């Protein structure tokens, strides 16, 4: 990892791309796919999904794995294959539909990648850091082709789905997981999976990044939308933070209303990664931005001052 003027550790979800609406759309689209192929009632599937996450609000598994568990628990008898060929056909269809969905429905906010590209040309190195499982992060990076903008991305090690699966005659785990996995070696940037104890808001993950890159703290910035997960840990270990307030407009409010019937608003916000920063003035954060143009100005000014001071 070569010498650079500045390193930026940043969250990916709801900064580069619209995670919230992507998450909701993925669940609803999956419910329609299962209805088309197996006749599984879409509304019932969504209700079972929401019931599951309401009972496991702190679960860090990715939503693809959650869908697999719900299928295994409630619908294994509905997913009957005549032979291995029909099973393989479904597997291929599923993989194609999932990758197509990720590619076409993960909305990247306007101007973000162009700004990152300009900053990279100025010598800024971008490091991703997400609480999402590395499998899900890799899939989002690859299908949107934003992996080339990062040097390294840190994410959480995926849970051992195999050890927690429910046995079934159709080997649904084999089918589902083989349909959604991605070849990590084909990703442009390095993906590093961290144990869950490194997840934000713990400072351990940030400390690990500092150790891996081996530079002083004054060469780093942290960009994130959460005071708890990004700003406070950065300040504790002495890295300059930028609070990124990106207003997310939820398009499918009926899905959110269904979630609110089963869980409190705090857990709904956590799952959808919408952060309540109304009390942000109580945290002494010098740098705040509402767009990546604002981020660019902060980092450009910092680089200019560094250069002026030798």
Locate 239 and state its tokens. 């890295």
8-state DSSP, 187: S
24: domain range?
Answer: 6-308
> Which one of 25-29, 77-81, 204-208, 292-296 scores highest in mean pLDDT?
204-208
What is the tens place of the pLDDT at every residue in 55-89? 876 666 777 778 877 877 888 777 677 777 777 77
Structure-token match 């589902």, residue found: 176
Sheet of 6-10: strands edge to edge?
Answer: 190-194, 152-156, 124-133, 6-10, 220-224, 240-244, 287-289
**Is the peptide bond preceding residue 197 cis, with omega within 30 degrees of 0?**
no
What CATH number is attached to the domain comprising 259? 3.40.50.1000
SS3 215: coil
Q: Are 154 and 130 in contact (CB under 8 A)?
A: yes
Residue given tokens 């192929």 in the structure block:
37
Is residue 216 domain-resident?
Answer: yes
| Least confident among 169-178, 189-198, 211-220, 265-274 | 169-178
From the list 272, 241, 280, the residue with the least C-alpha distance to 256 is: 272
Residue 282 lies in a domain: yes
Total domains in the fold of the chain:
1
Q: How many CB atoms lie within 10 A of CB 59?
A: 14
| Average model confidence (pLDDT) across the chain | 83
The 10s digit of each residue's pLDDT in 277-292 is: 765 566 778 899 988 8
- Give the integer Cα–Cα distance in Å for 191 and 233: 22
Q: What is the mean pLDDT of residues 225-238?
A: 94
User: Average of pLDDT values for 261-281?
Assistant: 83
Task: Look up the pTM and report it.
Answer: 0.85
Q: How many helices and strands in the chain, by DSSP H and E? A: 13, 7
In eight-state DSSP terms, residue 231 is I
Comparing CA positions, the residue from 191, 132, 184 lying closest to residue 156 is 132
Q: Give domain status of residue 1, yes or no.
A: no
The CA distances from residue 207 to 67, 115, 239, in Å, are 33, 27, 10
- Alpha-helical (H) ranges within 79-160 are 84-105, 112-121, 134-144
């Amino acid at each position: 990892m070569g010498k650079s003027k500045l390193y930026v550790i940043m969250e990916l979800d709801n900064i580069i791309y619209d995670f919230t609406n992507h998450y909701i759309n993925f669940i609803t689209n999956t419910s329609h796919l299962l209805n088309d192929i197996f006749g599984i009632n879409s509304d019932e599937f969504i209700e079972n999904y929401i019931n599951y996450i309401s009972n496991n609000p702190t679960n860090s598994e990715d939503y693809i794995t959650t869908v697999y568990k719900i299928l295994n628990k409630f619908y294994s008898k509905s997913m009957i294959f005549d032979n291995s060929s029909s099973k393989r056909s479904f597997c291929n269809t599923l993989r194609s539909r999932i990758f197509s969905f990720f590619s076409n429905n993960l909305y990247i906010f306007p101007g973000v990648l162009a700004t990152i590209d300009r900053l990279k040309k100025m010598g800024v190195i971008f490091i991703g850091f997400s609480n999402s499982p590395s499998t899900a992060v890799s899939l989002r990076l690859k299908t949107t082709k934003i992996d080339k903008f990062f040097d390294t991305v840190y994410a959480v090690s995926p849970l051992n789905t195999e050890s927690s699966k429910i046995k079934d005659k159709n080997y649904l785990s084999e089918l589902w997981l083989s349909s959604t996995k991605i070849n990590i070696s084909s990703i442009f940037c390095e993906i590093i999976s961290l144990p869950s104890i490194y997840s934000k808001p713990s400072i351990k993950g940030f400390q690990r990044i500092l150790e891996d890159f081996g530079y002083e703290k004054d060469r780093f910035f942290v960009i994130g939308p959460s005071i708890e997960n990004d700003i406070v840990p950065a300040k504790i270990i002495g890295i300059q933070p930028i609070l990124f307030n990106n207003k997310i407009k939820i398009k499918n409010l009926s899905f959110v209303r269904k979630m609110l019937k089963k869980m409190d608003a705090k857990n709904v916000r956590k799952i959808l990664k919408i952060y309540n920063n109304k009390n942000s003035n109580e945290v002494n954060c010098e740098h705040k931005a509402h767009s990546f143009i604002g981020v660019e100005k902060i980092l450009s000014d910092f680089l200019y001052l560094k250069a002026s001071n030798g």
